[in-house]
Structure 1
């Protein structure tokens, strides 16, 4: 709803460019927008238009009529308005903004107040709220106070409908100054205070309106809304019960009372679920409460439920927003500090918890959290220090103390990290089964916790289970295929798998690892006599197959053992295929003249050398 065209004095040829085609008034100064197709509208008018054109019922009706779903369109030229940059404040067009501000108008209350003021559109709000400008203070005179106050209230209502809530508050305040005994003026200003997030001022105005008129229903309803936004749910319910007694049968009061009681039930069930260690149920209840209101009690309850589920990032964002809005909220500091500690940022976490205690030294929840996190952080530091000094037994004890002190949620970063660190200490103590148990718990806590996977794979390799190690790391590699560290660990495990599947050529030949080449050949001849297929011509099919297989393996063993380079590669862990690849690579390098040390295989077969394929 814009400025009345009837009160515009500037030539129509200029004004028509700034006429809202929806309300047919001059666009509201300070709340005007322009579209990418160069049309100007009141911000509130266009917002309502877009909302109506996006209404599901309207879209469904269009679909039934065979019309395509095109989204919001410009009311003037039907151009599409969906997408970024399609609608912008008129201030982004400086020339148009200045021209609009200089449009000449008269006082919009001239009919009811006989005010003779004339001036720029940009000065209207200042005029209406200035005692010297508007009627030169006569609006406070007893003879015309009521009439002038009512006109100011009506102008405030127009601003409210245009979503210009701050300007509406100024006009309602002016009306109250002229006629301080009218309950509806306070009630209207309370509604505007609520829209700008000033719930305390809203409650104050509502109480004043009820004092002036005990039957003012809107005052009770708005007071309850304000108390809900202030997280005083019990106070809102009590206020509405009193209102129901004073104004029996009022539908607005009964509906708001039902809403508040539903909210109260959701919050109570959320608290009960948190106390019973049912965070998923608690989060469900707070989500239901959030559909009623976004008050602090709801958002902090949801944050605490997320912390209990180990979702610290979301809780940190929520609590940070609450602290910015309410710097004195102790529970917000406690919750944010808890989340930071569980993210292993103990410096910032303890800082927030201490600030909560400074605000309220007797806050039981904050004090208990401070003691727990202080002990947990100190134990974690002891464990890390002991690990650095290779006192792994002391490290295990310290990490266990940290877990017991923190009482952290199962799926929190703290739990996963401390379990993984304790697993690594147990690995160094060769307590492989205990290390694997900690790794499994850490992975169950955070399924992508890489240190736990690395420690788990190392423990499995020590236990002679390379296949399980490779499978575990394959899962991690699938989660993050671009991580070079994960790839190296996976290659090492895959190398150990291939190594475990190699034939034991020393056992096949029946020689020691230090046997010379002549000894290798002598052993080969002796074993050939035993497994030559001709010696098993009359044996069973199974025995002949065994003899042929062993005879073939004897040939492979001789080929590897009598060649110095191949034997070294075999001793380093490479299998037959990998040895063949390296020998061929060495041959090509020698042919190019770039191979200077015989074979250049080095000793890199054990840890991610890349040559096991």
Structure 2
């Protein structure tokens, strides 16, 4: 068998046990050094020495109180709160401990607990003006909370943001106030501001379910629904009972599915189904402004396809009310206005588009609308003759024959003076219309929106009777014989 070798183990000498008095002396030394560093505003070193003091003696309230003060200067309020609470557990008459505990509670947004602490300070020191001032601050925070709760139910989100801003001036470390403010900013459409607040919280606490919910809410309202769902799911993992995240997640999934179904129906040419699906999607969440603007515009396009132009205009108007920057909705509405000959409205929409996106295409659309507006302000010679804008030469002649005979003054010689004047006016307009539309060059200038006066033609100088005579003077036409000054009777040739 192998021989057993024994070794002498060299042990380090044990630290001699310190007496209670020595431990207290060491603790006081560390405390004094901590005080020096605290006075020099070197709070990290002060924290280290106060911690050493506590290591030497865990029964001295002032050590915990000093470390609490240092942690407060380092903005570590939750840790400071624990030390302050320990200090008053050790000594219930420790005024600074109660004050620091109250201050931590207030900074963290727990105004009710802060009130109890400051009241304790006033009981111990009736003339403590700082505690009385902090009591007023705590009362103010409680009042801001109360008002914000009421206004949130009223959906007055601007007022809630105002209240939370005031509350955060007194409780800057309160995540609850920050989250409520961020949620209201999201509901007001101020997504970058809301994202910034939520991101700041997540940098300190990546598992904060409320902050994850607000991040998702911003993405949801910006129509980034897939990414939004990811944040809602993550929030629910952190807090399975988070009702707002659960509802938002359900709405997001339903909205995405319904919108995609509507888009597919539109692509398939099933416009009735697409209209129904978009309408159902619009009922899911009235707060989702950006997505609803797109849904209104999509439904407007469907209505235009279904020849419901007035409904299409209404939908596009709802879209731009929700999103004033939505170019596609302005373009769709402008086209609908053009189709219904509402040219001034069309020009206004195209101007808005061109001011936002000054592209060549938008410039041309604006010019076209301005031309149509200019043309609409002239006499509509096609309408006067009762013909389509694509009418042939023969159709124009037939229309003139019919209208000229209908409105000729001699046909209305027995009518009242007012009727005679009206028919004479119409007879003259029919002559004007025929003069322009029967001449290819003049017709082309008229159709292109050019001024006819530039062609050397003053429409007020011509004689409608001469045009009438010239038209009917051919074989098989009408002949005229004067029966008195200014009067004619018709004879068939």
TM-score by length of 1: 0.60
C-alpha distance in structure 1 between counterparts of 2:158 and 2:54, whole Å? 49
1:206 Cα deviation after fit: 0.9
| 2:304 is the counterpart of 1:427 | yes
The equivalent residue for 1:383 is: 262
Structure 1 segments of 4 or more deviating over 6 A?
507-512, 516-520, 545-549, 578-581
C-alpha distance in structure 2 between counterparts of 1:349 and 1:399, whole Å? 21
Q: Label 1:517 to 1:265 Cα distance change in 2 as closer, same or farther (>3 A).
A: closer
| 2:40 is the counterpart of 1:151 | no
Q: Label 1:237 to 1:467 Cα distance change in 2 as closer, same or farther (>3 A).
A: same
- 1:447 pairs, out of 324, 328, 337, with 324
The equivalent residue for 1:191 is: 69
Q: Label 1:176 to 1:430 Cα distance change in 2 as closer, same or farther (>3 A).
A: same
1:212 Cα deviation after fit: 2.8
1:574 Cα deviation after fit: 1.7
The equivalent residue for 2:11 is: none
Larger Rg: 2
The equivalent residue for 2:370 is: 494
1:190 Cα deviation after fit: 1.7
1:151 Cα deviation after fit: 2.9
Any idea what the Cα deviations from partners look like across 1:216-261, whole Å, max 9, x if unmatched? 2232232233234444444333444455455555333332222122
Q: Label 1:501 to 1:173 Cα distance change in 2 as closer, same or farther (>3 A).
A: same
- 1:277 pairs, out of 155, 171, 174, with 155
Any idea what the Cα deviations from partners look like across 1:544-581, whole Å, max 9, x if unmatched? x96998699569726x8333xx75575xx521249989
The equivalent residue for 2:79 is: 201
C-alpha distance in structure 2 between counterparts of 1:551 and 1:364, whole Å? 72
Structure 1 unaligned regions, length at least 5: 1-136, 532-538, 582-613
The equivalent residue for 1:413 is: 290
Q: How does 1:520-531 map to 2 (within 5 A)?
A: none
Q: Does the 8 Å CA contact 1:150/1:175 hold for their aligned counterparts?
A: yes
What is the total number of aligned residue pairs between the two structures? 419
The equivalent residue for 1:257 is: 135
- 1:223 pairs, out of 84, 98, 101, with 101
Moved more, 400-409 or 298-307: 400-409
C-alpha distance in structure 1 between counterparts of 2:396 and 2:270, whole Å? 49
| 2:233 is the counterpart of 1:354 | yes
Q: How does 1:8-87 map to 2 (within 5 A)?
A: none
SS where residue 223 of structure 2 aligns? coil
The equivalent residue for 1:575 is: 449
Structure 2 unaligned regions, length at least 5: 1-17, 410-416, 456-493
The equivalent residue for 2:190 is: 311
Q: Label 1:326 to 1:268 Cα distance change in 2 as closer, same or farther (>3 A).
A: farther
C-alpha distance in structure 2 between counterparts of 1:296 and 1:485, whole Å? 49
The equivalent residue for 1:171 is: 49
SS where residue 387 of structure 1 aligns? helix
CA RMSD of aligned residues (A): 3.8
C-alpha distance in structure 2 between counterparts of 1:234 and 1:228, whole Å? 8
1:517 Cα deviation after fit: 13
The equivalent residue for 1:79 is: none
Q: Label 1:197 to 1:382 Cα distance change in 2 as closer, same or farther (>3 A).
A: farther
The equivalent residue for 1:211 is: 89
Q: Label 1:184 to 1:304 Cα distance change in 2 as closer, same or farther (>3 A).
A: same
Q: Greater helix percent: which structure?
A: 2
Q: Label 1:514 to 1:377 Cα distance change in 2 as closer, same or farther (>3 A).
A: same
Q: Does the 8 Å CA contact 2:95/2:124 hold for their aligned counterparts?
A: no
The equivalent residue for 1:397 is: 276
C-alpha distance in structure 2 between counterparts of 1:174 and 1:297, whole Å? 34
C-alpha distance in structure 2 between counterparts of 1:285 and 1:447, whole Å? 28
C-alpha distance in structure 2 between counterparts of 1:475 and 1:330, whole Å? 42
Q: How does 1:286-297 map to 2 (within 5 A)?
A: 286-294=164-172, 295-297=174-176
1:208 Cα deviation after fit: 1.8
Q: Label 1:336 to 1:488 Cα distance change in 2 as closer, same or farther (>3 A).
A: farther
Q: Label 1:233 to 1:487 Cα distance change in 2 as closer, same or farther (>3 A).
A: farther
The equivalent residue for 2:348 is: 471
Q: Does the 8 Å CA contact 1:453/1:476 hold for their aligned counterparts?
A: yes
Q: Label 1:506 to 1:346 Cα distance change in 2 as closer, same or farther (>3 A).
A: closer
Q: How does 1:472-551 map to 2 (within 5 A)?
A: 472-478=349-355, 480=356, 482-484=358-360, 486-505=362-381, 513-515=391-393
1:277 Cα deviation after fit: 1.9
